Copies of this chain bind each other. A is one copy, B any other.
Amino acid sequence: MMTRQVVLTSRPVGAPVAGDFAIREVDLPDLAPGEFRVRNLLLSLDPGIRQRLSQVDSYVKLIDLGSALTSTTLGLVEESRDARATVGDHVIGFHTIAERTNATWGPLTRKIDPAATGALSHHLSVLGPTGLTAYFGLLEIGRPRAGETVLVSAAAGAVGSIAAQIARIHGCRVVGIAGGAKKTARLIEEFGLDAAIDYRDKDLAALTAAIRDAVPAGVDVFFDNVGGVQLDAALDCLNPRGRVALCGLISQYNAAVPEQRFRNMFKLIAKSARIEGFVVLSYAERFPDALRELAGWIRVGRLTFREQIEEGLEAAIPGFLRLFDGTNDGKMMVRLP
């Protein structure tokens, strides 16, 4: 069985470029016991892939040069030697970025009902890892209370836009940070936030001043996808017992040495505040309840989201690169024929 897959051909230094990747045709071996074959229908492209391309963190397992990239995918089981995966099942899992792949059942693998939502793609976005990350990160780590002020970075992005709206649903005042006039306008008009801040062309002092302008009463919860200057500025604006839910550090992923500078660490002491990271998989047992709640908010029009779906395996490479130049426009996915 021949398939095409996206492989890593060189380790990016700084921002990844198209030449770091290639499409390769390979012959999939016959299934071993416990394996099943997936024909991918949708591929999720996430910033976290970047960290497995170059050695930046001893904790993250690197993708070998010449090997296929992996990410969350949604596909159809075509053949199976695992009793949990039946031919015809729709499964989500952490799989090869390819047309087809031999897979094993992992901690992220689950079956989905293709009729359960309006579109299959929702299972990789608002009703998948993206929405669940926003949901648990905001509610379990940020723990906003009604009336508090929540600041969200990358607030026009896939996770940020959902986190921001969940904060609104919970009765918070919500301010978003995004890049450029188009995205900041969208924060207000489309996602219903109370205020928006454009981080572009702002150094630490200017960004801090902009946050203070937008959030005169201070920040109770910062849902951060970005790190770097945005995190440092937010630390300066934290209220006593403020919480930073650390979801991502996309400002750092392309740095050869991801050396973040902070001037405002002391604020954590002065304000009895905390920064806490999380991995959504920790909440796996509660995914069904969370997905029900997210679906309910969508149904009644309280939760809006954007998906950007590119077509064909070749689109995976430019689609991934767009996550880092800010030209993506909603949860980035690739649909395969």
Alpha-carbon distance between A268 and B258 when the two chains are bound, in angstroms: 14
Alpha-carbon distance between A257 and B205 when the two chains are bound, in angstroms: 14
- Tell me if B263 and A272 are in contact (CB < 8 A): no
- Tell me if A258 and B266 are in contact (CB < 8 A): yes
Known pairs A247-B269, A268-B246, A272-B279; A259 contacts B263 (CB<8 A): yes
Q: Which of A239-277 contact B (CB under 8 A)?
A: 246-249, 252, 257-277
- Tell me if A261 and B259 are in contact (CB < 8 A): yes
Q: Which of B60, B247, B261 contacts A260 (CB 8 A)?
A: B261
Copies held by the complex:
2
Residues of chain A at interface, number, CB under 8 A: 37
- Tell me if A260 and B252 are in contact (CB < 8 A): no
Main secondary structure of the interface of A (DSSP, over half): loop
- Tell me if B269 and A277 are in contact (CB < 8 A): yes
Residues of B within 8 A of A278 (CB): 269, 272
Chain B nearest CB from A192 CB (Å) reads 28
- Tell me if A227 and B279 are in contact (CB < 8 A): no
> Which of A51-59, A72-80, A156-164, A170-178 has 4 or more CB atoms under 8 Å from chain B?
A51-59
Residues of B within 8 A of A282 (CB): 272
Write out, one digit per residue, whether chain A residues 210-254 have a CB within 8 A of any chain B CB (1) or not (0).
000000000000000001000000001000000000111100100
- Tell me if B261 and A246 are in contact (CB < 8 A): no
Alpha-carbon distance between A267 and B269 when the two chains are bound, in angstroms: 20
Binding site for B on A (CB under 8 A): 51, 56-60, 227, 236, 246-249, 252, 257-279, 282
